[in-house]
């Protein structure tokens, strides 16, 4: 069946550095991709999404890169701040969203 996997369950990054969170998916028919952030005790919060007709999309301090050839998705966070500490989920969809299990981002002072 379809699967979405994150490469690392945990990622530690120095404050001020850039963070890169990776995600691999299995369904080549997926045409919608999304990233969510979940802080402790809260529900997931939308960060950014991208359609399959694009390979890059930028938001505020975040960039999503999509490589359909190798079925890989990444989230880049520029100048990581303490408030970025959370679990990050990628999701892919054809008609409904399949999520990965999440990468916990730790910010080191």
Q: Could you give the CA distance from residue 53 to residue 101 in angstroms, rounded to a whole number?
A: 25
Distance (Å, whole) CA 63 – CA 59:
6
The residue ranges that bind other proteins (CB under 8 A) are 31-32, 41-46, 49, 51, 89, 91, 93, 95-102
CA neighbor of 23 nearest in space, from 73, 67, 93: 73
4-6 and 97-99: which strand pairing?
A: unpaired
Residue closer to other proteins, measured from CB, 5 or 16: 5
What minimum distance in Å lies between the beta carbon of 46 and other proteins? 5
Q: Which is nearer to other proteins, 6 or 14 (CB)?
A: 6
What tokens were used for 44? 């997931």
Q: How far is the CB of 24 from other proteins (least distance, A)?
A: 14
Measured from the CB atom, is 43 or 82 closer to other proteins?
43
Q: Minimum CB separation from other proteins for residue 43, in Å? A: 3
């Amino acid at each position: 069946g379809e699967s979405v996997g994150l490469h690392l369950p945990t990622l530690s990054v120095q404050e001020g550095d850039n963070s890169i969170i990776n995600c691999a998916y299995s369904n080549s028919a997926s045409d919608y991709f999304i990233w969510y952030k979940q802080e402790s005790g809260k529900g997931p919060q939308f960060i950014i999404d991208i359609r399959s007709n694009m390979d890059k999309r930028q938001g505020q301090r975040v960039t999503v890169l999509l490589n359909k050839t190798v079925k890989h998705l990444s989230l880049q966070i520029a100048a990581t701040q303490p408030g970025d500490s959370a679990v990050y989920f990628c999701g892919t969809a054809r008609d409904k969203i399949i999520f990965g299990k999440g990468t916990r981002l730790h910010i080191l002072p």
